[in-house]
């Protein structure tokens, strides 16, 4: 029977995403000046206030307030009228040193013996339904908000947008799980006050989203995905009406509260652990990246059309406690899912340090992941510059989104005789 599936995304100006970006900016600065830093930073944002908390073990010192303000300004919160501005908000730091009880389970005699920074299970997922092996509804939701942010910052075609926004896409699937059409698109975007004409304001926003934003998003997609757009799409644009009060003034934001947006939009599964603000010794983050790397390379190599990989750990223990694979009946090889999992264990070393080393996770690469999803992004190399009144200036060439690289396809094909 045909069915509908929905995913949502949120913009870089959403309160929870502001918190995520601040947490990851702090992490990047610690790693830039001390790659062995152990960091777990949490951020809370509300009207005119930023509160930083968490645990850090590092040889360096960074200007936490300055970094938080820079992030807020770069997102676009630069006006007092937003009731939250990088130049005027208060920034309170409650960060303290990491517990020695936790650290003793992580640091060992050699890096290879490094134990997992926590217990738990992490998931990676991949599907052939989009070019980047991501669930399509989430991919389109991310694209809508990235394009909306571009329009906001350019101010050439739409000049009234504010930073806070959400998007949601519903897709109809056929009996055999193939996307057939886009059923519904929801966009809620913060905007300047238009004055007393609420109806005229809403009509203009609806027209601009449907006539300017959506065509730009559609034009970036492959033809087979463009064909899913149709004249019968139901649009809900700012369905509550006015959306002037937003950002941290409208809703408190917290690090780690958008874990489904960060991963697969409700497809596959999620172990429950957040990513932002955590250094790679925390397997909540590093093992989730490693599981995505494995799942994506398996699907790209043709092992199955859809794959979920689960890996689990005990705190302080080097080897994973389990690896599980589900191909949802789409396997293209004459092996059970359990047998596929055994080969995954052989192909992908899931020990914590091996993951860090393979995916180059001890580099300052995390702020770029903190909005518009950690998965499905394009791997690339960039130069990042970090300046500190305490540590001077550091310039680093880093690789972003290494877990998205299709660098294991040949090894997978060989192992599965494809």
Angle at 132 between CA 40 and CA 28, to 5 degrees: 25
Per-residue model confidence as pLDDT tens digits over 79-116: 888 999 999 999 999 998 765 555 555 655 566 667 77
Question: How many C-beta neighbours within 10 Å does residue 226 have?
Answer: 12
Contact criterion met (CB below 8 Å) for 96 and 293: no
Contact criterion met (CB below 8 Å) for 114 and 281: yes
Name 413's Cβ contacts closer than 8 Å, sequence gap at least 6.
301, 302
Task: List C-alpha distances in Å: 255 to 5, 38, 71, 258, 279.
Answer: 26, 17, 14, 8, 14
Provide the percentage of residues in the chain whose pLDDT is more than 70. 96
Same fold, 3-9+136-246 and 120-127+282-415: yes
Q: What is the pLDDT of residue 128?
A: 96
Q: What is the pLDDT of residue 107?
A: 58
DSSP letter at 98 equals P
Contact criterion met (CB below 8 Å) for 9 and 263: no
242 assigned ligand-binding residue: yes
Residue 190 token pair: 């913060």
Q: What is the pLDDT of residue 111?
A: 65
282 assigned ligand-binding residue: yes
Average of per-residue pLDDT across 274-285:
96
Of 13-22, 110-119, 230-239, 406-415, the range with the lowest mean pLDDT is 110-119
Per-residue model confidence as pLDDT tens digits over 222-272: 999 999 999 999 999 999 888 988 989 989 999 999 999 999 999 999 999
164 assigned ligand-binding residue: yes
274 assigned ligand-binding residue: yes
Residue 83's φ and ψ, nearest 5 degrees, are 60, 20
Per-residue model confidence as pLDDT tens digits over 294-342: 999 999 999 999 999 999 999 988 999 999 999 999 999 999 999 999 9
Q: What is the pLDDT of residue 224?
A: 95
The better pLDDT of the pair 79, 143 is held by 143
98 assigned ligand-binding residue: yes
Computed over every residue of the chain, the mean pLDDT equals: 94
165 assigned ligand-binding residue: yes
Q: What is the CATH number of domain 120-127+282-415?
A: 3.30.300.10
Question: How many C-beta neighbours within 10 Å does residue 280 have?
Answer: 28
Contact criterion met (CB below 8 Å) for 221 and 129: no
Q: How confident is the model at residue 200 (pLDDT cuts 50, 70, 90)?
A: confident
Task: List C-alpha distances in Å: 221 to 49, 51, 300.
Answer: 39, 39, 19
Contact criterion met (CB below 8 Å) for 39 and 26: yes
34 assigned ligand-binding residue: no
Provide the percentage of residues in the chain whose pLDDT is more than 90. 86
What kind of fold does domain 3-9+136-246 have according to CATH? GMP Synthetase; Chain A, domain 3 (3.30.300)
257 assigned ligand-binding residue: yes
267 assigned ligand-binding residue: no
The domain limits of the chain are 3-9+136-246, 120-127+282-415
What count of Cα atoms within 13 Å lies in the side-chain half-sphere of residue 257?
A: 16
Name 223's Cβ contacts closer than 8 Å, sequence gap at least 6.
none
Average of per-residue pLDDT across 6-19:
98
Short-list 247, 238, 251, 198, CA closest to 80: 247
The better pLDDT of the pair 176, 326 is held by 326
Angle at 140 between CA 137 and CA 141, to 5 degrees: 85
DSSP letter at 211 equals I
278 assigned ligand-binding residue: yes
Sheet with 38-46, strands from edge to edge, namely: 90-97, 49-57, 38-46, 253-254
- Kindly give the pairing relationship between strand 49-57 and strand 90-97: parallel
343 assigned ligand-binding residue: no
Angle at 136 between CA 227 and CA 127, to 5 degrees: 115
104 assigned ligand-binding residue: no
Contact criterion met (CB below 8 Å) for 359 and 375: no
């Amino acid at each position: 029977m045909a069915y509908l599936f929905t995913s949502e995304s949120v913009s870089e100006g959403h309160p929870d995403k502001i918190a995520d970006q601040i947490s990851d900016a702090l992490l990047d600065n610690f790693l830039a000046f001390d790659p062995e830093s152990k960091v777990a930073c949490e951020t809370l944002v509300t009207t005119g206030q930023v509160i930083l908390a968490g645990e850090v073990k590092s040889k360096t010192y960074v200007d936490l307030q300055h970094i938080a303000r820079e992030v807020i300004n770069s997102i676009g919160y630069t006006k007092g009228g937003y009731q939250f501005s990088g130049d005027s908000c208060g920034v309170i730091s409650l960060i303290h040193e990491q517990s020695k009880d936790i650290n003793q389970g992580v640091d060992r005699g050699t890096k290879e013996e490094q134990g997992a920074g926590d217990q738990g299970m992490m998931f990676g997922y991949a599907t052939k339904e989009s070019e980047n092996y991501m669930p399509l509804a989430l991919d389109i939701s991310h694209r809508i908000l990235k394009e909306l942010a571009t329009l906001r910052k350019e101010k050439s075609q739409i000049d009234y947008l504010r930073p806070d926004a959400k998007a949601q896409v519903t897709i109809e699937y056929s009996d055999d799980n193939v996307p057939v059409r886009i059923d519904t698109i929801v966009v809620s975007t913060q905007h300047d006050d238009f004055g007393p004409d609420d109806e005229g304001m809403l009509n203009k926003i609806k027209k601009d989203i449907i006539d300017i934003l959506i065509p730009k998003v559609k034009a970036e997609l492959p033809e087979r995905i463009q064909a899913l757009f149709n004249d019968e799409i139901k649009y809900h644009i700012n369905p509550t009406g006015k959306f002037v009060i937003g950002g941290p003034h409208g809703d408190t934001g917290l690090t780690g509260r958008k874990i489904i947006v960060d991963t697969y939009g409700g497809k596959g599964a999620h172990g429950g652990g957040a990513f932002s603000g955590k250094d790679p010794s925390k397997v909540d983050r590093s093992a989730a990246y490693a599981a995505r790397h494995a799942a994506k390379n398996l699907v790209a190599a043709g092992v199955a059309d859809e794959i979920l990989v689960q890996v689990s750990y005990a705190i302080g223990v080097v080897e994973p406690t389990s690896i599980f694979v589900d191909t949802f009946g789409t396997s293209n090889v004459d092996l059970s899912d359990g047998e596929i999992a055994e080969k995954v264990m052989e192909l992908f070393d899931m020990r914590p340090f091996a993951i860090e080393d393979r995916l180059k996770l001890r580099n300052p690469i995390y702020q770029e992941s903190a909005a518009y999803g950690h998965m499905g992004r394009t791997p690339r190399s960039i130069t990042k510059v970090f300046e500190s009144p305490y540590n001077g200036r550091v310039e680093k060439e880093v690789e972003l989104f290494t877990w998205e690289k299709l660098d294991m396809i040949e090894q997978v094909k060989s192992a599965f005789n494809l």
